[in-house]
Structure 1
Amino acid sequence: MGLTFTKLFQKLFSKREMRILMVGLDAAGKTTILYKLKLGEIVTTIPTIGFNVETVEYKNISFTVWDVGGQDKIRPLWRHYFQNTQGLIFVVDSNDRDRVVEARDELHRMLNEDELRDAVLLVFANKQDLPNAMNAAEITDKLGLHSLRQRH
């Protein structure tokens, strides 16, 4: 009885760790989002060549967030970050109508990878404050998100 209670207590109150991979096309705002989560403020960024990694604490969860550069020459390297990823944040620039199809193709290509089969997906529609930004319904449609419901 005491051992069962101890296991239950540890499960409920112990610190949990999650590995999060944040990707998206270049200039979508991934690094800005990472440091807003980490520091609580907007910082000046430069294009990411390679990756940034930070630990973000929330309640009893420690998120290790990998922000990987999104330039087209770097995207083939994304797959090297897939292993053990529990959560995938795909950042899309809501104002970039010219490249939303490119974003869709990259997202769907990644989600076909076995290593991401069990990862939880969050699509982050960034730059919603801009006047010509696509709304959530338009982004959902253009990224083909409805088709992802049958993913598992």
Structure 2
Amino acid sequence: MSEHIQLSLALCRIGLYTCLRTLCCKGPPPPRPEYDVVCIGLAGSGKTSLLSRLSSESTDTIVPTTGFSIKAVGFQNAILNVKELGGADHIKKYWSRYYQGSQGVVFVVNSACSPAELEASRAELHLALQHPQLCTLPFLILANHQDQPAARPVPEIKKYFELEPLARGKRWILAGSSTADVEDVRQSFIQLISLLEDRDAEPARI
């Protein structure tokens, strides 16, 4: 057998060995980071339905959340452990008891609600943005039910809620949403994950 053929066979064996070692010895992918997020909003804002759609669950038997529920929502680069708090009047006064440990906030607004309900949502959002346990966290604010005829457009919600002056210096996203377009909702949550990652990357303050 010529030296040329022997060299070719040796190179083939090395290549095959390298490929097999890569396939067999490749470790499991690194775990996705997890973030604890609190989700708040008045009753009827659509929090439960949005989270169920993100989790590919049926929304046919949705009932209002009483107390709180926790749902792990998976994304390609992270997992959000979302603690959803009920929005009824007798529940929301206890919201602050569940804020501890949160790394981000999702606030859902019913953009098609009555003027009185919109004002109540505005007041609750202002309280959340200024709460000591939430004021430094990234916020995702969803103007939900955008598929309804009475829905106010996102710029109107932004102006009415006075987000520019109130949230100046904070990290926040305002986006429209509806259960009819879950991909848009998913993209909004991915933007929130980017804010959470940026916060993780910040140097510790001493």
Q: TM-score, structure 2 length as denominator?
A: 0.64
Is the Cα–Cα contact under 8 Å of residues 24 and 91 in structure 1 kept in the other structure?
Answer: yes
Matches within 5 A, 1:8-23: 13-23=30-40
Question: What root-mean-square deviation, in Å, do the aligned CA atoms of Structure 1 and Structure 2 show?
Answer: 1.8
**Structure 2 unaligned blocks of 5 or more:** 1-29, 172-206
Amino acid across the alignment from 1:136: V
Higher relative contact order (CA 8 A, sep 6+): 1
Is the Cα–Cα contact under 8 Å of residues 31 and 52 in structure 1 kept in the other structure?
Answer: no
Is the Cα–Cα contact under 8 Å of residues 138 and 170 in structure 2 kept in the other structure?
Answer: no
Alpha-carbon displacement from aligned partner over 1:18-41 (angstroms, at most 9, x marks no partner): 011111011100000111111255
The corresponding residue for 1:5 is none
The corresponding residue for 1:49 is 66
Corresponding position: 1:142 with 2:160: yes
Alpha-carbon displacement from aligned partner over 1:73-128 (angstroms, at most 9, x marks no partner): 11111101211211111000010132111101001111211111221101111100
Q: 1:19 to 1:52 in 2, by over 3 A?
A: same
Number of corresponding residues? 141
Q: Which has the larger Rg?
A: 2
The corresponding residue for 1:126 is 144
Alpha-carbon offset, residue 42 of structure 1: 3.2
The corresponding residue for 1:68 is 85
Matches within 5 A, 1:81-100: 81-98=98-115, 99-100=117-118
Q: Any idea what SS the aligned residue of 1:22 has?
A: strand
Is the Cα–Cα contact under 8 Å of residues 43 and 86 in structure 2 kept in the other structure?
Answer: yes
Identical amino acids, percent of aligned pairs: 33
Amino acid across the alignment from 2:54: L
Is the Cα–Cα contact under 8 Å of residues 32 and 43 in structure 1 kept in the other structure?
Answer: no
Q: TM-score, structure 1 length as denominator?
A: 0.85
Q: Which has the higher strand share?
A: 1
**Structure 1 unaligned blocks of 5 or more:** 1-12
Q: Could you list the runs of 4 or more consecutive aligned residues of structure 1 that deviate by over 4 angstroms after TM superposition?
A: none
Distance 1:129 1:33 in 2: 13
